[in-house]
């Protein structure tokens, strides 16, 4: 059975008469039990190396310098409550920049949605005899192209406890978000049916026909409908609201680990690690609750749900990435509205082995011992214009009522558990 916390969340949603989260497809949602690890790794973009920036990672403990589907399926544990989902999901860490130029990490937690067709045999699970990698977003972007589906796939919500939570294409500028900032990303869900990865980690998949969250896979080059993953990260940015006047840029004091204060360079990555056969059963049988509550799928024997079993791994890259830091890890410059090349000035060592721990609360893991000195990838983007962030104005759009209510309630959920 699902735990009392999940039941509380879904009862709250139902009391408010929230229907279907404004989506037409079947779906379930799941809130990871904890962040698996936060470190400078990106095994899709820079396998075997220290990544240019820090990611927070969810899912299977098989995560490391290299991942693939079979490695993840062998994970000792997963930070996802659905125990059969040992996939990894990762996104850049968020920081607050103080007026002396130093940084403090912002805490966050996530909600992951799996959306799929209500009609039988339309949505196909990720193949798991091969390793499926999917990336959404582009770390180098610092401007908005509003007609690009890839950029429409990234949005931010400025959360209010009551009233309107506005949606933005960028980190909200000049407004305070008393209930936090939610970064949101849709993954492309139409597959070419042939390639499990591509050079840019994106060209083997495409967004739906009419936008990142609407339409079908009707492009003949991308005919296979995969489950659509939508990931929200609830950043507890309100922890810094009373320090806003001590920020380097008070109008928008936050910056992602890749040196992006705009949000246009937000991105996320997925590597499939579902146990064989489970996702097929879930797609066929897990459309049993209109609010995305997966407990009915648990009752139907489709998968197991455990909201207290946390899962951690020790760090491979030996450097501080959370708390107060004098620079962003990797010494990434804060770059907006453009990118300039830089040389990472810190080259941390690689530790081995990786320790895994299953617990109901965070614990201090032993660290590995020096395995090798690190290879660090030099980011080589070309500077265009001046790279000084002036906190340009941002546009907001109204969010439909159902999404606002959902935002407020999922947020309350974090406070109560």
Ligand X SMILES: *[C@@H]1O[C@H](CO)[C@@H](O)[C@H](O)[C@H]1NC(C)=O
CA distance 318 to 327: 15
Task: Determine the size of the site formed for ligand X (CB under 6 A).
Answer: 25
For the segment 307-336, give every residue that binds ligand X (CB under 6 A).
Answer: 308-309, 323-324
For 182-251, give the DSSP string.
Answer: EEEEEPP-EE-SS-S--TTS-TTEE--TTSTTS-----TTS-EEPPEEEEEEEE-GGGGGGGGGGBSSTT
- Please say which residue, 68 or 75, places its beta carbon nearer to ligand X: 68
Place of tokens 């990894």: 88
For 14-60, give the DSSP string.
Answer: HHTT--GGG-SSEEEEE--SS--EEES--TTTSTTSB-SS-EEEEEB
In the list 33, 37, 39, 69, the residue contacting ligand X (rule: CB under 6 A) is 69
- Minimum Å gap between C-beta 343 and ligand X is 28
Residue 147 binds to ligand X (criterion: CB under 6 A): yes
Q: Which two tokens stand for residue 360?
A: 């109901």
- Please say which residue, 15 or 393, places its beta carbon nearer to ligand X: 393
- Please say which residue, 34 or 306, places its beta carbon nearer to ligand X: 306
In the list 130, 248, 288, 387, the residue contacting ligand X (rule: CB under 6 A) is 130
Residue 347 binds to ligand X (criterion: CB under 6 A): no
Annotate each residue in 377-406 with x if it binds ligand X (CB under 6 A) or - if it does not, as one string: ---------------------x--------
Phi, psi of 173 (to 5 degrees): -105, 135
Place of tokens 């998949």: 205
Q: Which of these segments, 67-75, 88-96, 311-319, 347-355, binds ligand X (CB under 6 A)?
A: 67-75
Q: Is 4 exposed, middle or buried (0-12, 13-18, 19+ CB in 10 A)?
A: exposed
The helix/strand/coil state of 370 is strand
Residue 131 binds to ligand X (criterion: CB under 6 A): yes
Helix axes 4-15, 401-416, angle to 10 degrees: 150
For the segment 352-371, give every residue that binds ligand X (CB under 6 A).
Answer: 358, 360
In the list 68, 124, 287, 332, the residue contacting ligand X (rule: CB under 6 A) is 68
Q: Which of these segments, 145-153, 219-227, 312-320, 367-375, binds ligand X (CB under 6 A)?
A: 145-153
Residue 148 binds to ligand X (criterion: CB under 6 A): yes
Inter-CA distances, 64 with 340, 353, 356, Å: 28, 10, 11
In the list 17, 129, 343, 378, the residue contacting ligand X (rule: CB under 6 A) is 129
Output the residue with the shortest Cβ distance to ligand X: 309
Residue 70 binds to ligand X (criterion: CB under 6 A): yes
Q: Where are the alpha helices (DSSP H) in 120-175?
A: 149-152
CA distance 244 to 96: 9
In the list 7, 11, 24, 300, the residue contacting ligand X (rule: CB under 6 A) is 24
Q: Is 115 exposed, middle or buried (0-12, 13-18, 19+ CB in 10 A)?
A: buried
Residues that bind ligand X (CB under 6 A): 24, 68-71, 104, 120-121, 127, 129-131, 145, 147-148, 210, 214, 306, 308-309, 323-324, 358, 360, 398
């Amino acid at each position: 059975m699902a735990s009392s916390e999940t039941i509380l969340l879904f009862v709250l949603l139902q009391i408010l008469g929230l229907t279907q989260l404004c989506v037409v497809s079947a779906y379930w949602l799941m809130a990871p039990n904890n962040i698996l690890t936060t470190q400078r790794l990106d095994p899709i973009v820079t396998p075997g190396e220290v990544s240019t920036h820090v990611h927070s990672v969810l899912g299977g403990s098989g995560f490391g310098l290299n991942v693939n589907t079979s490695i993840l399926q062998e994970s000792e544990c997963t930070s996802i409550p659905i125990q059969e989902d040992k996939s990894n999901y990762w996104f850049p860490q968020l920081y607050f920049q103080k007026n002396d130029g130093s940084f403090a990490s912002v805490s966050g937690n996530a909600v992951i949605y799996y959306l799929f067709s209500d009609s039988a045999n339309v949505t196909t699970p990720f193949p798991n005899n091969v390793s499926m990698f999917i990336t959404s977003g582009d770390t180098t972007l610092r401007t908005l192209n509003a007609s690009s589906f890839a950029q429409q796939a990234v949005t931010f919500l400025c959360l209010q406890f009551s009233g309107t939570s506005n949606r933005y294409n960028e980190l909200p500028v000049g407004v305070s978000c008393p209930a936090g900032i939610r970064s949101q990303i849709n993954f492309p869900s139409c597959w070419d049916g042939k390639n499990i990865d591509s050079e840019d980690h994106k060209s083997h998949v495409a967004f739906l026909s009419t936008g990142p969250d609407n339409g079908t896979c009707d492009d003949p080059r991308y005919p296979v409908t995969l489950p659509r993953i939508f990931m929200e990260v609830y950043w507890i940015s309100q922890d810094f609201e009373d320090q806003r006047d001590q920020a380097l840029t008070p109008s928008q004091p936050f910056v992602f680990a890749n040196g992006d204060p705009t949000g246009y360079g937000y991105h996320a990555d997925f590597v499939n690690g579902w146990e064989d056969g489970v996702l097929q059963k879930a797609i066929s049988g897990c459309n049993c609750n209109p609010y995305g509550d997966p407990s009915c799928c648990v009752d139907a024997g489709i998968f197991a749900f455990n909201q207290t079993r946390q899962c951690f791994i020790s760090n491979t890259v030996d450097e501080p990435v959370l708390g107060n830091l004098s620079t962003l890890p990797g010494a990434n410059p804060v770059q907006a509205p453009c990118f300039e090349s830089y040389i990472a000035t810190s080259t941390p060592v690689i530790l081995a082995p990786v320790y895994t721990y299953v617990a109901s609360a965070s614990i201090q893991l032993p660290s590995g011992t020096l395995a090798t000195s690190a290879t660090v990838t030099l980011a080589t983007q070309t500077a265009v214009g001046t790279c000084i962030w002036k906190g340009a104005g941002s546009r907001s759009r109204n969010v439909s009522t159902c999404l606002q209510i959902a935002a407020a309630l999922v947020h309350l959920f974090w406070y109560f558990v």
